[in-house]
Chains A and B, each alone.
Chain A
Amino acid sequence: MRASEFVVQLRENLVIALDVIRNHKMRSFLTLLGVIIGVMSIIGVQSLIEGFQKSIHQQMEQLGANVFQVQKFPVNIGHDERDKYRNRKDITWEHAKAIEKYCTAVERVGPEAWHFEIIVKYRDRKTSPMNVMAGGTPEFFANNSYFIDGGRAFSEVDVQQKADVAVIGKDIIDALFPFEDPLGKFILADGRRYQVIGTLEEMGSRFGNSEDNKVVIPLSTFLKYYGSYRSLNITVQATSVDMMETAQEQVIGVLRAVRKVPPGEDNDFEIWTSNSLIKSFNDITRAVRIGALVIVSFSLLVAGIGIMNIMLVSIRERTREIGVRMAIGAKRGDIRMQFLIEAIFLSVIGGLFGILIGVGLGQLIALISPVPAAIPVFTILLGFVVCVAVGVIFGVVPAVKASKMDPITALRYE
């Protein structure tokens, strides 16, 4: 077939295909449902995952590319797995001091401790139990990108004196001090009295959780009340992004020495950077994606069989048309192409609807929940290609069947 012939016929075939869909709206819609659902769900899932990924990357960057953490347990492990690491030695303030003293590539060291699910009270008001207590040194605020917008952060002196002072987040201020200035007031956090000396700038939410629910107190005070047996996290800031690797090597060396890890044995502590969190997040999303893919493959298989079926019906109904086309000069290849294009067109129309609905769904979820969404360009292209493939794979059998008809028999068909 010459190129010009192909173009002429392609246009004709698209017009016919559109006409067939127009004249069998319900039937086409039902056939396309599988494609629509399949493509819609993959696009929807993908928009959410990509949205998440984007926001995580952004937040990781905010956290600082020259910052890493030292802690006892690996991140993102299940509860059962934690037992494996439980008898590691705790990470202590002494370790943080050693790092500060010996690591030249380290700018700042911030030992931290966390206690979750606390209630904060002021007079007759109280918060939900979803607030978080953090103990830190003055570096804590800079290391975690927390900014003071009223009063002051605690000082080295507060830390030395184990002062009962606190810096509190926006959620707590809103709940306890709707009409008052919190500075200088005494609050009860997890049952203990602290004077509010500073307030934190509003941060909004990260990963769908509010970041404004913090009560930050000096680490010494924290250990005084919660016991010094607990393992600390140490946030370490390298002197620059380029010095990240050096700083990590130095920290590992110092910690192994201080914790007396015999040579040749694995570290008995974890170092993680934002990259390692991104990596473990990507591992999770990969699993979700594979799950979605399996579902989508099934629905596309069902859709494909639907398309094949409807094409077989359509070809039987249009037997005479096929006979006429052959009589006036359509070659077998032309007929085959016509029905193949029709099947592809059907599938792609379904795919386009699926893409539209999927993108819309992702945006809608993003709108009504804290989950962010992106428009997954690559997946949209992939979805398009997959629809073409479904059309080809499941259109071939009917198309070949149509092209093999005997024109005389086809013309006589009632």
Chain B
Amino acid sequence: MMIELKEINKDYHLGLETVHALRGVDLNIDNNEYVAIMGPSGSGKSTLMNLLGCLDTPSSGLYMLNGSDVSDMDDNALAEIRNREIGFVFQNFNLLPRASALHNVELPLIYNGTPSSKRRDLAEEALTKVGLKDRMHHRPNELSGGQRQRVAVARALVNNPSIILADEPTGNLDTRTGDEIMDLFETLHDNGNTIILVTHEEYIAEHSDRIIRLRDGRVERDEAV
């Protein structure tokens, strides 16, 4: 099992009030699954994604990722896990505005000390996979929204991570470009990648193999498409 969540709780403390963002979430996700997480606003989707992506640790519960317990790792260990095991795709792309597409894709490799020639090869390879090799010297503001999100996907892919986590990746794109990105995820899935994405849209979720619906921090439904 690639991901095992057991009795995961996440509380936020706002002054005297406590927000229970996640309440006892149990979840298993296997290698090469394609999972969509849905639910109303405030149901805990982003909180769950942040935990899965090791940007945060749960208040209680167990998170096993590829057989190792990441629930209470320290900051440095989590950073290494994010670098090696996780590829993030954000709703607003989150590219470095002044860096070329190539450099943006190289960025994760910089933090594990990959030498520059190898870095460039890997980044070019990832950009080729998303069909943007001919645009690799362009800066984000010289690219369309769909192209920017492809660069972000290439960046997520470049370190060959265990999971690709995408929080509303089509949220800022029109329907047609959104579909292109979904096609890209489809291809990545076919090539053996594990994909978890958050979406509001049923038709986007339809692309996945399994939909997990959250409500009030609990898994309401978990079913194959």
What residues of chain A have their CB less than 8 Å away from a CB belonging to chain B? 1-2, 4-6, 8-9, 11-12, 19, 23, 320-321, 323-334, 407-408, 411
Given contact pairs A4-B115, A327-B55, A332 touches B98 in the complex (Cβ within 8 A) = no
Complex CA–CA separation, A332 to B77 (angstroms) = 11
Q: Is the CB of B76 within 8 A of A5?
A: no
Q: Is the CB of A411 within 8 A of B90?
A: yes
Given contact pairs A2-B113, A8-B114, A331 touches B79 in the complex (Cβ within 8 A) = yes
Task: Provide a sorted-by-A list of 12 A–B residue pairs whose CB atoms are within 8 angstroms.
Answer: A8-B110, A8-B113, A9-B111, A324-B94, A325-B107, A328-B108, A328-B155, A329-B80, A330-B79, A331-B76, A331-B80, A407-B55
Q: Is the CB of A327 within 8 A of B82?
A: yes
* B125 located at the interface, meaning its Cβ lies under 8 Å from any Cβ of chain A in the complex: no
Complex CA–CA separation, A188 to B88 (angstroms) = 97
A-contacting residues, B85-125, CB 8 Å? 88, 90, 94-96, 98, 107-108, 110-116, 119
* B50 located at the interface, meaning its Cβ lies under 8 Å from any Cβ of chain A in the complex: yes
Complex CA–CA separation, A408 to B79 (angstroms) = 13
- Interface bracket on B: 20 to 34
Closest 9 CB pairs of A and B: A329-B83, A5-B113, A329-B111, A328-B108, A331-B79, A324-B94, A4-B113, A329-B82, A8-B113
Interface residue from A2, A321, A332 paired with B75 (Cβ < 8 Å): A332
B-chain residues with CB within 8 Å of residue A330 when the two chains form the complex: 79, 111
Q: Is the CB of A408 within 8 A of B80?
A: no
Given contact pairs A321-B96, A328-B82, A411-B90, A8 touches B116 in the complex (Cβ within 8 A) = yes
A284 CB, min distance to chain B CBs, angstroms:
52
Given contact pairs A2-B113, A327-B53, A327-B55, A332 touches B76 in the complex (Cβ within 8 A) = yes
B-chain residues with CB within 8 Å of residue A11 when the two chains form the complex: 116
Complex CA–CA separation, A190 to B53 (angstroms) = 97
Q: Is the CB of B56 within 8 A of A408?
A: yes
A5 CB, min distance to chain B CBs, angstroms:
3
B-chain residues with CB within 8 Å of residue A325 when the two chains form the complex: 107, 111
A-chain residues with CB within 8 Å of residue B50 when the two chains form the complex: 408
B-chain residues with CB within 8 Å of residue A333 when the two chains form the complex: 76
Given contact pairs A328-B82, A407-B55, A334 touches B111 in the complex (Cβ within 8 A) = yes
Interface residue from B56, B76, B111 paired with A328 (Cβ < 8 Å): B111
Q: Is the CB of B94 within 8 A of A320?
A: yes
A-chain residues with CB within 8 Å of residue B112 when the two chains form the complex: 5, 329
Complex CA–CA separation, A325 to B106 (angstroms) = 12
Complex CA–CA separation, A325 to B109 (angstroms) = 11
In this complex, what residue of A is CB-closest to B114? A8
A-chain residues with CB within 8 Å of residue B108 when the two chains form the complex: 328-329
* B218 located at the interface, meaning its Cβ lies under 8 Å from any Cβ of chain A in the complex: no
Complex CA–CA separation, A346 to B90 (angstroms) = 32
A-chain residues with CB within 8 Å of residue B96 when the two chains form the complex: 321, 324
Complex CA–CA separation, A329 to B88 (angstroms) = 11
Interface residue from A8, A320, A326, A407 paired with B115 (Cβ < 8 Å): A8
A-chain residues with CB within 8 Å of residue B75 when the two chains form the complex: 331-332
Complex CA–CA separation, A6 to B94 (angstroms) = 25
* B84 located at the interface, meaning its Cβ lies under 8 Å from any Cβ of chain A in the complex: yes
Q: Is the CB of B98 within 8 A of A19?
A: yes
B-chain residues with CB within 8 Å of residue A329 when the two chains form the complex: 79-80, 82-84, 108, 111-112, 159
Given contact pairs A328-B155, A329-B80, A329-B83, A12 touches B88 in the complex (Cβ within 8 A) = no
A-chain residues with CB within 8 Å of residue B107 when the two chains form the complex: 324-325, 328
Complex CA–CA separation, A407 to B115 (angstroms) = 26
A321 CB, min distance to chain B CBs, angstroms:
6
A336 CB, min distance to chain B CBs, angstroms:
12
A-chain residues with CB within 8 Å of residue B90 when the two chains form the complex: 411
Q: Counting chain A CB atoms within 10 Å of each CB, which of B50, B95, B113 scores highest?
A: B113
Q: Counting chain B CB atoms within 10 Å of each CB, which of A4, A329, A331, A332 scores highest?
A: A329
Q: Counting chain A CB atoms within 10 Å of each CB, which of B53, B76, B110, B114 scores highest?
A: B110
Complex CA–CA separation, A12 to B76 (angstroms) = 20
Extra contacts besides A331-B79, A332-B79 (17): CB < 8 Å: A5-B111, A8-B114, A8-B116, A12-B110, A19-B98, A320-B94, A321-B96, A326-B82, A328-B88, A328-B107, A328-B108, A329-B79, A329-B84, A329-B108, A331-B75, A332-B75, A407-B55
A-contacting residues, B23-72, CB 8 Å? 50, 53, 55-56
In this complex, what residue of A is CB-closest to B84? A329
A-chain residues with CB within 8 Å of residue B159 when the two chains form the complex: 329
In this complex, what residue of A is CB-closest to B76? A331
B-chain residues with CB within 8 Å of residue A407 when the two chains form the complex: 55
A407 CB, min distance to chain B CBs, angstroms:
5
Complex CA–CA separation, A23 to B98 (angstroms) = 9
Complex CA–CA separation, A4 to B98 (angstroms) = 25
A409 CB, min distance to chain B CBs, angstroms:
10
